[in-house]
Structure 1
C-alpha cells in the first residue's frame, strides 16, 4: 500500500542548522503560518550536485515545500530562494547582528506555536534593515529594533517600557531575552565586543 504524505508550502526564514545523522541537517525555520518549525534536509551535507536538492543557508528567506511524515516530522522537499542576507557593512559585523537576531527569535518563539505571521515579518524586516546598514552603528540599531519588536510581540516587553536605542539599551534587551527564556545567548558576547569597538571608535 502506497503511503500518502501531506505536503505543506510556506514562506520561511532559516534561523539555525545543525547536523543530524551521517548526512542530514536539521533546519530551524521561522514561518509565515506556523511559527517556528524543525525541518529535516535529507542528505544536505552531501554534495548538492549529487542530491539535486537546494538547501537554504542561514538567514535565507524563501518558499519552502515540505512533506509531513509520521507525527509532525517535516522533510524538506523543495526550497526556492527569495532573499539572501548580504550585509553592506563589515561582513563579520553583519553576520554577528544577524546571528543574535536569529538566536533571539529561536529562543523566544516556541516550536509549532500558533503565533501568526508577526514573528516572521519582524525578523524579515529586521534582516532587510540590517542588510542595508552601512556602518557598525546602524547595524546595531537595526539589531536593537528587531530584538525589541520580538520581545514586544512575545509579550515580554511592554511597548512603553522599551529602552532607548543606545548601547546600554541593547544590553538591557539581551539581558531581558536571557531572563525571559532562562537561557544564555551564545551570540551575546560577540555583540558586546561590537559595542566596545563602537565606544572606542
Structure 2
C-alpha cells in the first residue's frame, strides 16, 4: 500500500511540475515560437535598426526621397552604398522594382554592369549615427521609363547590403573596405515598403 501511495505522490508531483512549467512558459515574455515575416518586411534578415523608406517628393520630374534611418539606440552604422537605393547608380543596377499601377506589368529596365574602383573610396560610405537618418533624391528620368503621362507606378527597392560595419566611417580601415564582403552584415537583405509613384 505504501508503494502505491509513493507512486501516486510521484505522479501528482510530476503533473504539477509540468503544469507549472507550462504556465511559466506561456506567461513569460520570451517568444516560444517563430513565424515567417510577412512579405515586404525588412526585419527577418536585415541589419538590426536600419530601415529604408521611400516617399514621393516630385511628380514632374518623378522623384522619390530615399531615407535610411538608424533606430538602434547605441550602434552607428557605416553602409557601403553600392547596390542600395542610396547608390547614385541605383536606377542602373536593378535595385528598384517598378510595376505599372493598373496592369501590374513590370517596367523593363536597362541594367548596367558597373565597374567599381577598388577598394571602395571612403566617400562611398554613408554613416548613420544612432537615432539619425540619411536621405538621397532619386529621379526616375531614365530613357527606359515609359513616356505616357499621367501615369502611376508601384515602386519598391530590395536587395542585399554589400558592406555594413557597426561603427563610424572614419573607423573603417582601407583593409576592411577592400574586404567589404567580409564585413559583419554583408549579404543581409533590405527591402522597402511599396509606394505609388505618380508621374505628371
TM-score normalised by structure 2 residue count? 0.23
Q: Which has the higher contact order (CA 8 A, sep 6+)?
A: 2
| Greater strand proportion | 2
| CA radius of gyration, larger in | 2
